[in-house]
Structure 1
Amino acid sequence: MIISISALLLAQLASATPVRRSDYGSDTSNHFDEVIAGSRSCASSAVMIGRETFAPGNIGVFWGARFRNELLDAFNGDIDVQGIHREDYPANLVDYHIGGSDTGADSCARTIEQYAAKCPETKIFVSGYSQGSLVAYKCINRVSDTARKQIKALVVFGSEEILMDDVQPVPDGITLKNYCVENTTAPDVVCTTTLTSGIDLPNSVGEVVSQIKDSFASLGDVAQNGDQLKEVASIPGLLLKELPAALPWIAKDVTQGKIRRWMILPPHMVYGLNGMTTEAAAWMATVI
């Protein structure tokens, strides 16, 4: 690559909005489940979250935990936050290639319907990051017409939707807010509509695999707490386990010119660190 992996990460972080270093908290949030079970009262607003590939819990510790805290701040605590059930949405590479987990999308839709039945006056948002955004697109198309009337917006980060074969439409009446690092020198190339600005596309499966490994390793440079460091430590084992099943698809995409969907470069890894969660949460709090 003309621009090195480390240079891309440093360029993105240099232009990022400063954020405080803090413990973002648990990788799991089950407010919808608690409301459905009757152990929690309905909030005025609610958001269903689809986490990124390999993220732990049901919201993760990089983007999801940060976003949950930003939402709680923006809504003064009057918001329910739920991650898609981990048992239904494993957030693996196999499901990424098909445009996001179908079982995750079904689980997302089912949980929203159950929550909406309990809280018919609550404004609902659906959100996701990376593969989680693909699942979110599928989810809102599987929610019943009745429950869908409560969904105000789809809020996605680093979404690869434009690169997938079966593009999911956004139903009428639902606003789309799409957060992508549109940076001409260090873009997130899986979602950007700008030029890749000197970034060479990989020409082989080996180059793609090396790039994926390097990008996930870069998370160690931006980890801010023990939970994040623990996730970084777990990723090499997950890659070793899941990459073999993905290799035939990667090879096919290389030959068909669809390799951008696998270009998980460092700018794709920093959505919980570059101020976009703060911006999104503030915008959501203004939605009527």
Structure 2
Amino acid sequence: MSISRLKSEVTEDVGLHLTLSFRPHYLFYLRSCLSSYFFCPQLFTFNVLKMKYNAAVAVLASAIAIANAAPTPTPERRLFGSDSANDMVDVINGELEADCKDVAVIFARGTFDSGNIGVWVGPQFRSALEDSIESLAFQGVDSTAYPATLGGYLSNGGPASGAQSLADTVTQYASECPQATIVVSGWSQGAGVAHQAISLMSSAVQQKVAALVTFGDPNKLFRPNDKLPSNIQFHTECLTGTTLDPLCADIPADFKFPTSLSDITRPFTALPGLVKGAEEAAAAVSLVARFPIQLAQSVGDFASTVTNKNKLQRLLLSPQHFTYGNLGLTTTAAEFVAGLPQVAGK
């Protein structure tokens, strides 16, 4: 089946599944298909895939819903705080009691994440930085400019609007607080947004950026030839080894790529065992609910990705991709930031 035909049929069938807006000509086509497989084998094939996908999502939704009832937020988990942070914007907007900090870190959350820093990595990274840096401003990327949708990830590894918003915030903060050391950071799709944002800054603003810090960074899958300005240090956290994160790790030769939609979704049955606290449990349930809807909205990009083996790695979202905060890797990254020559002692 050609990519264009797959796009067309995926759009039609998933759209019907989600909206139940049946069209007379489609019902006639469907009745004809049911009476004779040979009349429309493509639709039959895709319906089989769709049923596998729906089954996988149903299993995952059930598993996470059960897990959601079990975890109790620990005091340590609650200390990570809100899914939003606006320290830099408060200064830019002239808010009362908002003042320049020695170090400013702007963070781009991952796909499906809430607020402007999310719950999986952003709050943990902020908490770890606050333990090491006394004068700190922490900021998320505007959620209107950067909604962190599946479509934004599949089309370009993160939307240009999010990258521009991040670059604009850094530029404005650097103007208001010229003595501040700035660090750009991001997780998952947000890492791609962070990479793109640096390229949108003027050379003068880039000189204010001491480092780029990323987690589960898939940027090389979209822009393999990206290079940073020489003054910007790069630190990335990526799970490798036996339990690797396929979005950022080098894939071994014997790696088994998915051959169906259920192969892509099935690994998430392990996610409930990795969740910590009510915030993450709720986020996991939300992810399952939003995934099929956003898939339908971005089905063209999904189809062109899933039918191209060179792009297929972009879809290998795994439960371990959500564990950077829980495994303490945000603390490792915060120690890197605190040890930068421009930051040490501040």
Match for residue 65 of structure 1 among 108, 123, 135: 123
Match for residue 273 of structure 1 among 326, 331, 335: 326
How far apart, CA to CA, are the structure 1 residues paired with 2:334 and 2:247? 23
Deviation string, structure 1 residues 227-285 (Cα, Å, up to 9, x no partner) = 22221221222112101234433333333212111001122121111121001101101
Residue 182 of structure 2 is aligned to residue 127 of structure 1? no
Residue 106 of structure 1 aligns to a residue whose secondary structure is helix
Residue 192 of structure 1 aligns to a residue whose secondary structure is coil
Question: Hey, what does 1:41 align to over in structure 2?
Answer: 99
How far apart, CA to CA, are the structure 1 residues paired with 2:285 and 2:339? 38
Q: Is the 8 A contact 1:21 1:224 kept in 2?
A: no
Deviation string, structure 1 residues 135-186 (Cα, Å, up to 9, x no partner) = 0000111112222111000001111112115653212211111111111x11
**Greater Cα offset, 133-142 or 222-231:** 222-231
Residue 77 of structure 2 aligns to a residue whose secondary structure is coil
Question: Hey, what does 2:86 align to over in structure 1?
Answer: 30
TM-score scaled to structure 2, two decimals?
Answer: 0.72
Q: Is the 8 A contact 2:104 2:180 kept in 1?
A: yes
Deviation string, structure 1 residues 175-200 (Cα, Å, up to 9, x no partner) = 111111111x111111112526x541
How far apart, CA to CA, are the structure 2 residues paired with 1:29 and 1:246? 29
What letter is aligned with 2:207?
A: K
Question: Hey, what does 2:71 align to over in structure 1?
Answer: none
What letter is aligned with 1:230?
A: A
**Greater Cα offset, 50-59 or 252-261:** 252-261
How far apart, CA to CA, are the structure 2 residues paired with 1:177 and 1:137? 12
How far apart, CA to CA, are the structure 1 residues paired with 2:179 and 2:162? 25
Q: CA deviation at 1:38?
A: 2.4
Matches within 5 A, 1:9-158: 21-23=76-78, 24-39=80-95, 40-76=98-134, 78-97=135-154, 98-158=156-216
Question: Hey, what does 1:12 align to over in structure 2?
Answer: none
TM-score scaled to structure 1, two decimals?
Answer: 0.85
Q: Is the 8 A contact 2:100 2:177 kept in 1?
A: yes
Residue 276 of structure 2 is aligned to residue 224 of structure 1? yes
User: What are the ranges of 5 or more consecutive residues in structure 1 without an aligned counterpart?
Assistant: 1-5, 7-18
Q: CA deviation at 1:90?
A: 0.3
Match for residue 263 of structure 1 among 316, 320, 331: 316
Q: 1:281 to 1:87 in 2, by over 3 A?
A: same
Residue 256 of structure 1 aligns to a residue whose secondary structure is coil
Q: Is the 8 A contact 1:26 1:65 kept in 2?
A: yes
Q: Is the 8 A contact 1:250 1:259 kept in 2?
A: no
**Greater Cα offset, 36-45 or 79-88:** 36-45
How far apart, CA to CA, are the structure 1 residues paired with 2:217 and 2:331? 18
Residue 94 of structure 1 aligns to a residue whose secondary structure is helix
Higher helix share: 2
What letter is aligned with 2:140?
A: G
Question: Hey, what does 2:70 align to over in structure 1?
Answer: none
How far apart, CA to CA, are the structure 2 residues paired with 1:252 and 1:81? 37
**Greater Cα offset, 267-276 or 199-208:** 199-208
How far apart, CA to CA, are the structure 1 residues paired with 2:233 and 2:224? 20
Match for residue 260 of structure 2 among 198, 204, 208: 204
User: What are the ranges of 5 or more consecutive residues in structure 2 without an aligned counterpart?
Assistant: 1-59, 61-73, 342-346
What letter is aligned with 1:273?
A: N
Structure 1 vs Structure 2 CA RMSD: 2.1
What letter is aligned with 2:173?
A: Y
**Greater Cα offset, 19-28 or 63-72:** 19-28
How far apart, CA to CA, are the structure 1 residues paired with 2:293 and 2:275? 23
How far apart, CA to CA, are the structure 2 residues paired with 1:205 and 1:220? 20
What letter is aligned with 1:236?
A: V
Question: Hey, what does 1:282 align to over in structure 2?
Answer: 335
How far apart, CA to CA, are the structure 2 residues paired with 1:233 and 1:256? 29
How far apart, CA to CA, are the structure 2 residues paired with 1:45 and 1:85? 19
What letter is aligned with 1:269?
A: F
**Greater Cα offset, 115-124 or 244-253:** 244-253
